[in-house]
């Protein structure tokens, strides 16, 4: 066992664990970040080149957290000297008389987020090569855009190390002994710390079971689909094509989202916001493609400039909570163990603000945002008895 006692050990070096470790190190805490795979890797939820960043949410608390997150991303960009964000705007479409679109619109306007509501007759002038469904409204969250995910993750890990933080990768955690000084055992060593933060993404419940806790989390595989432009450049980021979210549609209950062609020239990323359950250790044994069939129908109807057969399909995973809100909380039995989990396919954009909140929780400070929507106690299922 290493003789050093860290202030904090963070388990899991995805975006949430890396941001949490960074805020600890920035505040002079001796911090160890443990990762089961050799970095970088594509086995969790934070890999890939791009993610959407937006304030368009149906809940005010996410808008307020995003106000902070945008500032923190800008600070990280400056500190790292790497461009991590590209403003494209986010087109939001959904039934004018539906459940979701009017709520997103109200929340954006109430929070004075710079928003342009598009009239149906001017839609195609602003958004070429896209058919707005009948009965749908459309608006643009103008500050939204693309985050360069892989670059962001690598930059934050580098900043963490430059602040004295230690990353040990290829170190799968296999045991946790809680206590005022907790011991974490990995495949090749044992480490001690006064506090632990568990940010294990799709493996959250595997890790939490080592502490006697189980959360109602479901891991699903997402087919990340890229679609070829029939005319090169039609949906290109250089031509200021926006990101988009289609809320409920005739093809699907869940939303469909897209990012302009950018990381793979000539290919636009369009995905369905749900997938089928999988085991994170055997992700690609899940081969269901019903989401791709939904996307094909949507693309054929609404995006006539794309070939309606995916050119490239990659894999990623979501870890869903029953209400799609995150888990940011202390362990119910061990206060010096803090949990960040269940990011439900929309957590990347919040990385820095989540890192800051988990740092605040693990150092006993009042969190800078209301964390009541993220408490473990909201789940009906009682936590399994502690060890
Ligand atoms: C296809 C797709 C599109 C998405 N689009 C968006 C978007 O547009 N905008 C947005 O905001 N969000 C988006 N998300 C969601 C976002 O990417 C995730 O919410 C976020 O990456 C979750 O990060 P994490 O750190 O919780 O998990 P992960 O990135 O999975 O990190 C957890 C880490 O813990 C490690 N670990 C697990 N068990 C152990 C162990 N025993 N020992 C050591 N290490 C361990 C894992 O190996 C992993 O590296 C998307 C996700 C996907 C899959």
Tell me the pLDDT tens digit for each residue of 241-299: 999 999 988 898 889 999 999 999 999 999 999 999 999 999 999 999 999 999 999 99
Q: Which two tokens stand for residue 172?
A: 């799968």
Q: Ligand 1 pocket test: pick from 23, 46, 199, 278 the residue with the most ligand atoms within 8 Å of its Cβ.
A: 46
CATH architecture type of domain 90-142+218-320: 2-Layer Sandwich (3.30)
- Structural contact between residues 309 and 231, judged by C-beta atoms closer than 8 angstroms: no
Whether ligand 1 lies within 6 angstroms of the CB of 374 is answered as no
Whether ligand 1 lies within 6 angstroms of the CB of 200 is answered as yes
- Structural contact between residues 46 and 35, judged by C-beta atoms closer than 8 angstroms: no
The per-residue pLDDT for 252 is 87
Domain 5-46+150-214+323-378 falls under CATH 3.50.50.60? yes
The per-residue pLDDT for 3 is 79
Long-range contact list for 367-372, CB < 8 A, 24+ apart?
367/328, 368/68, 369/61, 369/64, 369/65, 369/68, 370/61, 371/328, 371/329
Q: How far apart are CA 165 and CA 151, in angstroms?
A: 19
150, 306, 338, 369, 382 from 11: Cα distances, Å = 19, 41, 10, 23, 24
The per-residue pLDDT for 386 is 37
Pick left, alpha or beta for residue 110 (phi over 0 → left; psi -120 to 50 → alpha; otherwise beta).
Answer: alpha
Q: How far is the CA of 269 from the centre of ligand 1 (A)?
A: 18
Q: How far is the CA of 125 from the centre of ligand 1 (A)?
A: 37
Q: How far apart are CA 269 and CA 259, in angstroms?
A: 5
Whether ligand 1 lies within 6 angstroms of the CB of 221 is answered as no
Domain boundaries, the chain: 5-46+150-214+323-378, 90-142+218-320
- Structural contact between residues 165 and 33, judged by C-beta atoms closer than 8 angstroms: yes
Whether ligand 1 lies within 6 angstroms of the CB of 199 is answered as yes
| Cis peptide leading into residue 243 (ω within 30°) | no
Q: How far apart are CA 345 and CA 328, in angstroms?
A: 15
Q: How far apart are CA 81 and CA 158, in angstroms?
A: 11
Q: How far is the CA of 53 from the centre of ligand 1 (A)?
A: 15
| Residue 25: partners with Cβ closer than 8 Å, 6 or more residues away | 31, 160, 163, 164, 165
Q: Whose CA is nearest to atom 19 of ligand 1?
A: 347
Q: Which of 120, 133, 72 is nearest to 256 (CA)?
A: 133
> Residue for token digits 């995973």?
317
The per-residue pLDDT for 248 is 87
Regions in the chain scoring below 50 on pLDDT: 383-387
Q: Ligand 1 pocket test: pick from 10, 43, 44 the residue with the most ligand atoms within 8 Å of its Cβ.
A: 44
Q: Which atom of ligand 1 is nearest to the CA of 37?
A: 47
The per-residue pLDDT for 381 is 54
Whether ligand 1 lies within 6 angstroms of the CB of 173 is answered as yes
> Terminal CA-to-CA distance of the chain, rounded, Å?
23
The per-residue pLDDT for 13 is 98
What 3-state DSSP class applies to 340?
strand
Q: How far is the CA of 92 from the centre of ligand 1 (A)?
A: 24
pLDDT digits (tens, 9 = 90+) for 73-119: 999 999 999 999 999 999 999 999 999 999 999 999 999 999 999 99
Q: How far is the CA of 78 from the centre of ligand 1 (A)?
A: 24
């Amino acid at each position: 066992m290493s003789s050093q006692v860290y202030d904090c050990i963070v388990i899991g070096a995805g975006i949430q664990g890396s941001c949490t470790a960074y805020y600890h190190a920035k505040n002079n805490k001796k911090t160890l970040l443990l990762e089961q795979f050799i970095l970088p890797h594509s086995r969790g939820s934070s890999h890939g080149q791009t993610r959407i960043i937006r304030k368009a949410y149906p809940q005010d608390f996410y808008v307020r957290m995003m106000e902070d997150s945008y500032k923190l991303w800008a600070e990280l960009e400056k500190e790292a000297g790497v461009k991590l964000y590209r403003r494209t705007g986010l087109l939001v479409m959904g039934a004018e008389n539906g459940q979701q679109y009017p709520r997103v619109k109200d929340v954006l306007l109430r929070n004075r987020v710079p928003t342009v509501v598009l009239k149906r007759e001017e839609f195609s002038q602003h958004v070429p090569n896209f058919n707005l469904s009948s009965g749908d409204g459309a608006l643009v969250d103008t500050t939204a855009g693309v985050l360069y995910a892989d670059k962001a993750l690598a930059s934050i890990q580098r900043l963490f190390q430059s602040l004295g933080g230690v990353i040990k990768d290829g170190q799968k955690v296999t045991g946790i002994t809680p206590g005022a000084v907790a011991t974490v055992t990995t495949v090749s060593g044992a480490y001690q710390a006064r506090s632990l933060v568990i940010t294990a993404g799709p493996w959250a419940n595997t890790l939490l079971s080592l502490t006697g806790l189980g959360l109602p989390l479901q891991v699903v595989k997402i087919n990340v689909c890229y679609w070829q432009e029939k005319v090169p450049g039609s949906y290109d980021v250089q031509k200021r094509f926006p990101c988009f979210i289609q809320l409920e549609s005739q093809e699907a209950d869940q939303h469909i989202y897209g990012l302009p062609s950018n990381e793979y020239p000539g290919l636009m990323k369009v995905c369905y916001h749900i997938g089928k359950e999988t085991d994170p250790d055997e992700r690609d044994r899940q081969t269901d493609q019903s989401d791709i069939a939904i996307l094909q129908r949507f693309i054929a109807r609404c995006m006539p400039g794309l070939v309606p057969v995916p050119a490239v399909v990659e894999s990623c995973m979501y870890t869903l909570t029953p209400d799609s809100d995150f888990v940011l909380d202390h362990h119910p039995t061990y206060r010096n163990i803090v949990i960040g989990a269940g990011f439900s396919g929309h957590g990347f954009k919040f990385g820095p603000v989540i890192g800051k909140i988990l740092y605040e929780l693990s150092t006993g400070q009042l969190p800078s945002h209301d964390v009541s929507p993220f408490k473990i106690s909201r789940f009906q299922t009682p936590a399994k008895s502690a060890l």
